[in-house]
Chains A and B, each alone.
Chain A
Amino acid sequence: MSQTTETAGRLHEAGRKGKDVRSDLSVSFETQGGDADGPEIVLRSRVEPYYGNAIRQQVRDVLGAFGVTGGRMEIDDAGAVPFVIEARIEAALRSAFPERLGGATSTSAAAGAVETALRLVPRWNAESALASPRSARVRLRRSRLYVPGSEPKYMLNAGLHRADGIILDLEDSVHPAEKDAARLLVRNALLALDFLSAETMVRINQLPLGLADLEAIVPALPELILIPKVEHAEQVQEVDAAISRILAERGVTESIWLMPILESALGIENAFAIASASPRVAALTIGLEDYTADLGVVKTPTGEESLFARYRVVNAAKAAGVQAIDSVYGDIEDLAGLEAWALRSRGMGFEGMGCVHPRQIPVIHRGFAPTRGEIEKALRIVAAFEDAKARGLGVVSLGSKMIDAPVVNRAVRLVAQARAMGLIDSGGASDAPGAVAAARAGTNGSNGGEVTR
């Protein structure tokens, strides 16, 4: 067993314990200990009568797979599911055997351990995973729900709340001491959980730490990666290159989209260059907490102080042919304020925003939905367009008015969006918006938005 001298005799810990911890576990490993039968395993579990034997078997399997033949592992389990158990054990072992398994600094060794880990993590129903296609470049991105990358209990049911996207966050919501463990947890969550119709997203850390995140999570194929605090196009290109390299090494050709987050005055100034830095960029967004701090102004519930920056993001995004997505609304109690914000945001040209609590999702979906009047008008324009096309006319007209091509395009896009949101039945505007239908339509992503691109 190769081990560096400084790690010998030290406790290598991962996860959490305590009375209030749920769906997580604490793992503590020391390289000394064990006997001829292998490592010593001490397990205290809240679900001992039901899963004690299964947990012990899993621990032996994971230790064996990573070639650990000795040592002592102590586990306090608060009802963690198997993918969480694997992530926590792996994090402790990586700390104990940095040269062989890759610690915080050794990304190449970490990549070596990825194959082992990918074999160990229980997969979500493979058939259903294959059945749902990867997210399209243009799709509904009204709501993206932030889930802390170090909190398994919030991950397990995140997909049930019908957000258009779920962000497993490795950045601000994860304590610096937990970064290494969190990226393994996020990787495993991507493999093990069904996020239903939501687009799976990961917010990596600022570069260069974000590059280590990519080594861990790209093999688990998230559909989109958010890059925080982007100020230059080169940062996006660096992430693009790393993703492409990791995918190529694994012989994978799946798409992974990027959403750069602009969080400073400089980032806003470079918005267009950033939005057009890589063909992977599907959307551009803004982080108002840091942006207003950078400006030295106070963030208000109505957001006048960030109007310039947000208009700039919308314009740069449209110019680059990507979606413009707004920041989050932090006050989860103030649903009326949120709805007002979402309505203004849609009016400015944004197509969605972030959520910090699931209760914000339906409010945001309402805010970004086209009105009945808009839908009906767009349907008339599209019908006139189809009619003109069928009759071979070069000019589209509605009544006595001639309709310009950009207006037709906008109508086509609005109808497609409304259809994806479940606001249109087969024929016309629907009285009963079907959230399920909307969510499903969001998955295949093949909406008519491409008309304008």
Chain B
Amino acid sequence: MTTMQTSPKVSSELVRNAAGRMVPTEVNGRPQTPFLGVGAYEPDGDKAAPPIRRCADYPTNGDKRVADLRTALEKCGLRDGMVISNHHHLRNGDRVALEVLKAADSLGVKDLMWFPSAAFPCQAEVIDLMEKRVVHHIEGSMNGPLGDYCSQGKMRGMGVLRSHGGRWQAIQDGEVQIDIAIIAAPTADAFGNCNGSHGPTACGSLGFALADSMYAKHVIVVTDNLVPFPCLPWQIQGNNVDYVVEVDSIGDPSQIVSGTTEITKSPDRLLIADYVAQFVRDAGILRDGFSFQAGAGGVALAFVGKIRQIMEETGVKASFVRGGSTKQLVQLLQDGYTSAILDGQTFDLDAVRSIASDPRHVPTSPFTSYNYHGKGNFASMVDVVVLGATEVDRNFNANVNTHSDGRLLHGIGGWQNCLFAGCTILAVPSFRDRLPVIVDEVTTYTGPGELIDVIATERGLAINPRRQDLLDAVKGSDLPIRPIEEIQAEVEQLCGGKPERPRLSDEPVAVIKWVDGTVIDTVWKVES
């Protein structure tokens, strides 16, 4: 492989990667491979593996319960500098991650690397733990207060942002070795079998925790709904679990569902959703057995409503849809408009009930859905995916991570992984407040334009010139298909010219990983 390795001691060296972005060659003491282009990096070697264990060291009756989290962490040998992982299936209602880090603090441990599958505002207190040197740095999505903390260069190590598939890839390829994984389980038995679909804090799939359960050196399951063995179904196998801890509550159910499952009333967003659905029809993507992915949030939900209307009119049925699952997708399944929901994340209570009771509503993991270093994944088999973005440039490259002033805004989620769908549509407003969304150069390069096919705005749809097949397919459609430059110029006229580009420092505070583990861009320090 063509790496540009430097000494781990030289942390400031920057190279220009294949996307033309300056990226560090070393991050948190590990050498990095700069992005080489889509599909260019070829991994070698074997996958990582956890240490071999033996039954003799575990209770023969299968009861792995210990008194509390602190005891479990001690038994796992928690010490300075370890890598601790948590997961975001409880979203902003999670109570476990913070409890883990506070327990570590009470044990006097320092310099941990926290490796959540995503961080939420309810975990803002981790800032205090970083100030107290309990946590050294975070590798995971950061937004809100944690994003600002990282953006202002206050974190001791560098942030590393990975897609859901990229997190699996990093664990599987041994780039991140998890010392202790702590899995919040809505239902579990004393052996460690667990699922997310049952119990008072049911949240749907536990897929984000699956890699950790397989590759971490130690695994702790924390539950507030301990059931007699066997816990059915088990999405996480107790055979990978070291200890089980029973607590009063793993989370606040009212904060677990996103609450954004209302279809938007915004005229502009409804218009974008109409355009996207009509595009899917007019481009010939909508045909019997097709598949699509759309998450929660205004435009995506409105799109699902509109595509359903077209399916009703035309009698076309989908073979599968991919969630973020919502009530709207569940209704498609129940009314026979799709044969299955392959669910990566469960967004509302209707979807939680469905995943618990309907065998056609399947919990998936980043391994089956997204992992780029596997023998295929579901994301590339989806015919059309509807995603969002903060900024898009004229070459269709897009930013989902930072505000236009460079501050961290969002994690990558499954966004990068989804770009491999048959047709990738970014549904975005053409401007937010006064700020044009189509720019000359994206602030952060999260995804390459060669994988992005359509930018759908309320002022028209721009089709990537690389997709002549799509351009041909919609000839004769009455959709407003327009060159991206034309939409950009129109919005700049409305907004009173091109926005100034804020000056960013030359000090890296985080990197953005591509799906194959290479570094696709750098996030730079922002003055507070």
Contacts and interface: CB of A to CB of B under 8 A. Distances in A.
Interface of A: 22-23, 46-47, 49-54, 58, 78-82, 122, 124-125, 154, 156-157, 160-161, 193, 357-359, 432, 434-437
9 contacts: A23-B434, A53-B500, A54-B500, A124-B493, A154-B267, A161-B267, A359-B267, A432-B478, A434-B478
A120 to B, nearest CB: 12
A51 B492 CA distance: 12
Interface string B430-472: 0011110000000000000000000000110000000000000
Contact of B458 (A157, A357, A432, A434): A157
A198 to B, nearest CB: 14
Contacts of A437: 478
Given A23-B434, A79-B435, A81-B434, A51 B499 contact: yes
Interface in B414-438: 432-435
Nearest to B433: A79
A82 B458 contact: no
A22 B433 CA distance: 6
B496 A122 contact: yes
Contacts of A46: 433
Contact of A50 (B435, B480, B493): B435
Nearest to B403: A49
B271 interface: yes
Contact of B267 (A122, A125, A357): A357
At the interface, is chain B mostly helix, strand, loop or mixed?
loop
Contact of B478 (A49, A52, A161, A436): A436
Contacts of A359: 267, 270
Contacts of A436: 478, 480
Interface of B: 265, 267-268, 270-271, 404-405, 432-435, 458-459, 478, 480, 493-497, 499-502
A18 to B, nearest CB: 14
Contacts of A82: 496
Given A22-B433, A23-B434, A79-B433, A51 B267 contact: no
Nearest to A422: B478
A80 B502 CA distance: 19
Nearest to B272: A160
B37 to A, nearest CB: 31
Contacts, number: 73
Nearest first, the 8 closest Cβ-Cβ pairs linking A and B are A79-B433, A50-B499, A358-B267, A82-B496, A49-B502, A79-B434, A436-B478, A434-B478
Given A23-B433, A432-B478, A437-B478, 4 more contacts: A46-B433, A49-B404, A49-B500, A50-B501
A364 B497 CA distance: 37
Nearest to A45: B434
B475 to A, nearest CB: 13
Contacts of A125: 493
A53 to B, nearest CB: 7
A81 B495 contact: yes
A437 B476 CA distance: 12
A156 B494 contact: yes
Contact of B500 (A51, A161, A434, A435): A51
Contacts of A80: 434
Given A22-B433, A23-B433, A80-B434, A49 B405 contact: yes
B268 A51 contact: no
Contacts of B494: 81, 156, 193
A20 to B, nearest CB: 12
A124 B435 CA distance: 18
B499 A47 contact: yes
Nearest to B275: A160
Contacts of B493: 122, 124-125
Most buried by A among B404, B434, B496, B502: B434
A436 B458 CA distance: 15
B267 A50 contact: no
B496 A51 contact: yes
Contact of B433 (A47, A49, A122): A47
A160 B459 contact: yes
A23 B501 CA distance: 20
A87 to B, nearest CB: 14
Contacts of A160: 268, 271, 458-459
A157 B458 CA distance: 8
Nearest to B476: A432
B81 to A, nearest CB: 38
B268 A157 contact: yes
A350 to B, nearest CB: 24
A436 B480 CA distance: 8
A357 B264 CA distance: 13
Nearest to B494: A81
B462 to A, nearest CB: 15
A358 B478 contact: no
